[in-house]
Amino acid sequence: MSIKKADSLLQRNELKKFTTARVALKTSGVSLSTEEVLAFRLAHARAVDAVWTEWNRTKISDELKLVGIESLLVDSEASNRIHYVQNPQSGCIVNEQSQSTIQSLKYENAISIILADGLSPIAVQEQGSKLITCLLENLRSLAMNINPVFICNNGRVAIGDSIGEITKSKIAIVIIGERPGLTTPQSLGMYITLHPTSLSTNANRNCISNIHPKGLSIEQASNECKQLIEKMLTHNISGYQLNSK
């Protein structure tokens, strides 16, 4: 092996220590090596599977119940997974039956946590109950009412605006399976909005993303969420405006 090639291999291995991204890929001549091509195809297949895999909401609800956390199963207007993928807006609003269920809640001006499958039900199934349990331990020190956790089927980020408006929530936190990439299909995102309504947009919320075993830890994400909420309550704003405070 030439000195130049050995140095290049050493640099590539060093770079891979700091990221799980697809960097410094092996080559064969001017093309990717067979090993890298097969790894790419496997990662792509896992990402596709993550989008279409069914999740078990009842199991998550039971896991939360075991640690004393109440939850409600609700549904978006997306009647099935194909409808959800092909009509994004249908995942942003809860259906009529779920609206009636949500309206029976007594707390207003509270925190509402919504767990939605998003584009990676796998991520939510594996980490959802753990993240909610850790998050609630942090949020209890805020001395605010917290609604039962809403476990929403075929939900998107804006489902928090729909539920938040019905419950007249002070804060809506949407925990959702992020769009799976070629690094991991297990990533969760958290979207926090102050005074959520149907008029809220992405500019009104703050995001904590890349929550998975090789990314941001559940503990780190929970701490960041609490800090963001404290800042929102202090300045009475959320979203991009909060970044300047």
**Band (10; pLDDT cuts 50, 70, 90):** low
pLDDT on residue 214: 85
Q: Are 102 and 166 in contact (CB under 8 A)?
A: yes
pLDDT of residue 2: 44
Query: Cα separation of 104 and 167, whole Å?
Result: 9
Residue 6 has pLDDT above 50, yes or no: no
Inside any domain, residue 59: yes
| 130 within a domain of the structure (yes/no) | yes
Q: Express each pLDDT in 149-159 by its tens digit.
A: 999 999 999 99
Containing structural domain, residue 139: 52-244
112: domain CATH number? 3.40.50.11240
Structural contact between residues 187 and 200, judged by C-beta atoms closer than 8 angstroms? no
Q: Does the pLDDT at position 3 exceed 60?
A: no
Q: How many domains does the chain have?
A: 1
Q: For residue 97, give the 3-state DSSP assignment.
A: helix
In a domain, 122, yes or no: yes
Does residue 57 fall inside a structural domain?
yes
pLDDT (tens digit, 9 = 90+) per residue, 187-196?
A: 999 999 999 9
Whether 17 is covered by a domain: the verdict is no
- Reading the block at residue 235, the tokens are 């300045």
Q: Is residue 25 part of a domain?
A: no
How do residues 169-181 score in pLDDT, each as one tens digit? 999 999 999 987 7
Per-residue model confidence as pLDDT tens digits over 39-81: 778 877 787 777 788 899 999 999 999 999 999 999 999 999 9
Q: Is 217 exposed, middle or buried (0-12, 13-18, 19+ CB in 10 A)?
A: middle
Mean pLDDT of the chain: 89
Range with lowest mean pLDDT among 82-96, 97-111, 190-204 = 97-111
| Residue 29 counted as domain residue | no
If DSSP codes are grouped into helix, strand and coil, which group holds residue 194?
Answer: strand
64: Cβ–Cβ under 8 A, 6 or more apart, which residues?
Answer: 70, 71, 129, 132, 133, 149
Q: What average pLDDT does this structure show over 133-160?
A: 95
- Lowest mean pLDDT, pick from 14-28, 57-71, 181-195, 205-219: 14-28
> In whole angstroms, what is the distance from residue 13 CA to residue 1 CA?
16
C-alpha distances in angstroms, 231 versus 64, 193, 234?
28, 12, 5
Q: What is the mean pLDDT of residues 105-113?
A: 88
Among the listed ranges 16-20, 27-31, 131-135, 205-209, which one has the minimum average pLDDT value?
Answer: 16-20
Rounded to an integer, what distance in angstroms lies between the CA atom of residue 189 and that of residue 210? 6
Spatial contact of 159 and 122, defined as CB atoms under 8 Å apart: no
In a domain, 160, yes or no: yes
**pLDDT class for 37, splitting at 50, 70, 90?**
confident
pLDDT at 8 over 70: no
Q: Greater confidence, 52 or 232? A: 232
